[in-house]
Amino acid sequence: MPPLPTPRPPGFSRRTLLAASAAGLAVLATGCSSPPADEREQVTSAQADGLAAQVAVQQTLVDAFTAAGTADPALAAEVSVLADQAADQLRRLRAAAPGSTASAASSAGAPPAAPETRTWLRDQVAAAATSHAAACLDQSGARAALLGSIAAGLRGQEARLA
Amino acid sequence: MADDSEPGALDEGTENAALGEALAAEHAAVWGYGVVGAALGVEAQPAAVASETAHRDVRDQIVLLLASRDAEIVPAEGGYALPFPVLSAVDAAALAVVLEDGTAAAWVRVLDQAVERSTREFAVGALSAAEVRAVTWRSTAGQPTVTTAFPGLPES
């Protein structure tokens, strides 16, 4: 009997994904006119801008976790793993969009006091997930895979916070 | 099937190949939830049924899409080798996690290989739904961390 599908298909690594994204965007940033080694990873300026925008979205979410934790210390302890995951997602997005800057992030506003903080944070997570999923549609290759995966991860967080 | 070790331009062929892999994963998930349901208690049956139904729906959508393109439609296997014995409700929930993680990986692959915007929309929806179900099953299985930052992406 064949085995059940594995979560990690061979020959398709996160490192490959991120290296490919970075290489594609680096070509764009330097204005190199010769085609990249991997034609799949050619990226338009709109795609590069779109990915940079998602870095700002993720930065806003990371800031929201910090603000929520300040407003409700008990919640901070409960969601520390989620906050770490959001920060990890931000690092990956930055690595895939080397031209992005943190200054473009917008504020999510001040969270309400407990016990409303949790619902506020869940809404921030949901908004970021929706944004990444929408942005994924206009990307391709590794960038689409990364944004789609992050969007899905945040949907899982949203469910956890429900 | 596209060869990831020699990456080339994305086209409908790469997209259809990835969708075929997703179809195979969905076939396996439908089969696997039969095992999951058989080992779960009554209280967890609705979640197993809902998960199986969701995978059947996605499977059917892939079949329709590939058929509309006259692309190869991968049939279901008669059975699949379980990754571990399923002897308890906790084992069953852990198997459900494996099933959802397996389909998540297939859908990330579709995102990587797709050329059609509509296919990416389909894929990100299926991927997100798989991760939401996985969160529930990881909790049921008693796993220490129930969410994941990068569903479907390899660790290295």
User: Under CATH, to which class is B12-140 assigned?
Assistant: mainly alpha
Mean pLDDT, residues A147-153 taken together: 98
Of A75-84, A105-114, A132-141, B141-150, give the lowest mean pLDDT range: A105-114
Among B143, B153, B155, the strongest candidate for a mutation testing the A interface, having the largest count of A CBs within 10 A, is B153
Q: Give the pLDDT band (50/70/90) at residue A4.
A: confident
Cα–Cα distance, A151 to A24 (Å, whole number): 22
Assigned domain for A32 exists: no
User: How many domains is chain A built from?
Assistant: 1
* Cβ distance of B150 and A86 shorter than 8 Å: no
What was the pLDDT predicted at B4? 47
Q: What is the pLDDT of residue B154?
A: 84
Contact B111 A136 (CB under 8 A): yes
In the structure, what pLDDT confidence band is assigned to residue A22 with cuts at 50, 70 and 90? very low
Among the partner residues B4, B106, B156, nearest to A11 by beta-carbon distance: B4
CB B153, CB A18: distance < 8 Å = no
State chain A's mean pLDDT as an integer: 80
B69-126: pLDDT as tens digits: 999 999 999 999 999 999 999 999 999 999 999 999 999 999 999 999 999 999 999 9
The CA-based dihedral angle spanning residues A86, B126, A159, A103, taken in that order and rounded to the nearest 10 degrees: 30
For residues A86 and A102, the model is more confident at A86
Is residue A106, in this structure, part of any structural domain at all? no
Residue with tokens 């680096």: A26
CA of A158: which chain B residue's CA is closest?
Answer: B132
The residue range of the domain holding A64 is 43-99+113-161
Instruction: Report which of A42, A73, A156, A28 is spatially closest to residue B147, judged by C-alpha positions.
Output: A156
Q: Specify the higher pLDDT residue, A30 or B102.
A: B102
Instruction: Give the domain ranges of chain B.
Output: 12-140
A79-83, A89-93, A145-149, B6-10: range with lowest mean pLDDT: B6-10
* Helix locations, chain A, DSSP H: 14-30, 45-71, 73-78, 80-96, 117-136, 141-161
A9 within a domain of the structure (yes/no):
no
Residue A146 lies in a domain: yes
Nearest-angstrom CA–CA distance, A75 and B31: 39
Would the CB atoms of B120 and A145 count as touching at under 8 Å?
A: no
Of A21, A121, A13, A142, whose CA–CA distance to A62 is shortest?
A: A121
Residue A117 is assigned to a structural domain of this protein: yes
Mean pLDDT (chain B) is 94
Query: Do residue A155 and residue B82 have CB atoms under 8 angstroms apart?
Result: no
pTM for this structure?
0.86
Kindly report the nearest CA distance between residue A42 and chain B, in angstroms.
10
Residue A97's pLDDT is 87
Measured from the Cβ of residue B82, the count of other Cβ atoms closer than 10 Å reads 15
**B39-52 pLDDT, tens per residue?**
998 999 999 999 99
